[in-house]
Amino acid sequence: MRNILPLALLCSCCIAANALAAEAPQPQKQQAKKAATPATDRSGKTRKGKASYYSHKLAGKKMADGTPMNPDANIAASKTLPLGTKAKVTNLENGKSAHVEIRDRGPYVDGRIVDVSPKVARQLDMDEQGVAPVEVKPTELPPKQE
C-alpha cells in the first residue's frame, strides 16, 4: 500500500506534463531544402570541388526554377551560379565531362559544389561511387535579372 501513493503521484505528474507539452506551441519543421536565393557568382570562374548526384526519389519534385526534377535531363544544382547558367562539369578522376544547366540550389553538404542528375552522373561515370572530384566551368550565363 505504501508504494501506491508514490506511484499515483508519479502518474499524475506524467499526465500533467504531457498535457502541458501538447498545449505548447510546436516549432515549425525546418524545410528539407533551403529556399532559393539569388546567386551572385557571375564571374565565369572555373571552380573545383566535389560533386554528388540527385536520388531518383526526387524525380518530379519541384526545383528552384519551378520545373520538376527530371533524372534523364542534363541538369545540376549550384549554390553560387545563377539559375539558367550553362556549365561544363568534368570528372577530374577520369576526364569525362557533361554539359548541364543549373536549375536548382544545393548541394547542402560541406565541400560539395554541385549536384547533378542521375543521367549526368552516368555520363561522368560517377554513379557507382556517388561522389567525385569535379571542375565546373560556366559556359553561358543567363541575362542578369534586375
Domains (range + CATH), the chain = 47-140 (2.40.40.10)
pLDDT digits (tens, 9 = 90+) for 5-63: 555 555 555 454 444 444 444 444 333 444 445 567 888 899 999 999 999 899 999 99
DSSP type of residue 106:
-
Please give the single-letter amino acid code of residue 18. Answer: N
Strand partners, 112: 50
- Angle among Cα 126, 137, 44 to the nearest 5 degrees reads 155
Q: What is the pLDDT of residues 7-17, one digit of tens each?
A: 555 555 545 44
The per-residue pLDDT for 43 is 87
